[in-house]
């Protein structure tokens, strides 16, 4: 296969569609349960960075093609370990997802293992079908897990649950994933898409400014232990300039749909 045709193949293994303010990134390697190759990590970084720079995109959905979310990294590329350039590209992709300014939703079915969990925990919300199975499996390969992914797992699930998954490499079902906080909602397979549509519709009805500010401030609490005064001042000034509150109150009093004026730059 030529270099050009290889590049075209990698491009279709990560697909992006945009429907108004909602973008969907799909891992598109269903014959391998969407196991991620290094070129796919690079593609995720490029796509998500471009979406983050598009002020018309408010919400990002991440999903897998077919019956699985993601079975993790393609093991055939890890024979020399996950370090070096691979580690850099992997890290950049997950950080691009974590730093997307608006709400991100992982829609999970089937396998969500290893790098799949890393992708899911880099998203803000995780909505799962009841056929999903989860695992963090570096102990099966002797891998030292990337610290950014490990830190997110601890923040999402807590110390004990993360240790259990990391120590054993065991797979757990969706019921247990819900109990330990790895997923936010659990639905039957037939109900999953309707619930995702409902959640997206609700998010689009709400203030994008509030969502972006909330995400930025929550992330700062995680990093710094609090919201810094300069951050509060910046966003309060942005709120005053935006007209969001005036429009929100006016729409509420008039009992009409709200027309939010703010757009992120």
pLDDT at 4: 38
Residue-range domain boundaries for the chain:
3-203, 207-254
Q: What is the pLDDT of residue 15?
A: 97
Block means of pLDDT (10 residues each) for the chain, length 265 residues?
42 93 98 95 97 97 98 81 82 97 98 97 98 96 92 97 97 98 98 98 97 98 96 97 96 96 92
The pLDDT assigned to 84 comes to: 81
Distance CA(21)–CA(151), nearest Å, equals 30
For residue 3, the model assigns a pLDDT of 36
Collapsing DSSP to helix, strand or coil, 66 comes out as coil
Specify the pTM: 0.93
Task: From residue 196, give the alpha-carbon distance in Å to each of 63, 102, 123, 215, 232.
Answer: 11, 16, 14, 20, 31
Q: Which CATH number fits domain 3-203: 3.30.1360.170, 3.40.190.10, 3.90.226.10, 3.40.50.280?
A: 3.90.226.10
């Amino acid at each position: 296969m030529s270099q050009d045709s290889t590049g075209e193949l990698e491009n279709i293994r990560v697909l992006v569609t945009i429907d108004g303010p909602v973008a969907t990134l799909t891992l598109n390697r269903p014959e391998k349960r969407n196991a991620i190759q290094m070129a796919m990590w690079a593609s995720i970084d490029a796509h998500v960075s471009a979406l983050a720079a598009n002020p018309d995109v408010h919400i990002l959905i991440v999903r897998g093609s077919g019956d699985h979310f993601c079975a993790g990294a393609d093991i055939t590329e890890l024979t020399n370990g996950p370090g070096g350039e691979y580690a850099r590209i992997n890290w950049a992709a997950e950080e691009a997802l974590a730093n997307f300014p608006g709400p991100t939703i992982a829609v999970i079915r089937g396998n969500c293992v290893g790098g799949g969990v890393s992708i899911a925990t880099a998203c803000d919300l995780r909505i799962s079908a009841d056929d999903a199975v989860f695992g963090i499996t570096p102990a099966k390969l002797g891998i030292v897990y990337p610290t950014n992914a490990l830190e997110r797992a601890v923040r999402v699930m807590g110390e004990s649950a993360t240790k259990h998954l990391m120590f054993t490499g065991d797979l757990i079902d969706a019921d247990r994933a819900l109990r330990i906080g790895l997923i936010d909602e659990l639905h039957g397979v037939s109900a999953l898409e309707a619930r995702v549509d409902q959640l997206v519709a609700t998010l689009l009805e709400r203030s994008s400014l509030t969502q972006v500010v909330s995400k930025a401030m929550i992330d700062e609490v995680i990093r710094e232990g609090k919201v810094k005064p300069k951050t509060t001042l910046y966003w309060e000034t942005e709120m005053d300039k935006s007209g969001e509150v005036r429009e929100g109150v006016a729409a509420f009093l008039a009992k009409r749909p709200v027309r939010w004026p703010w757009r992120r730059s």
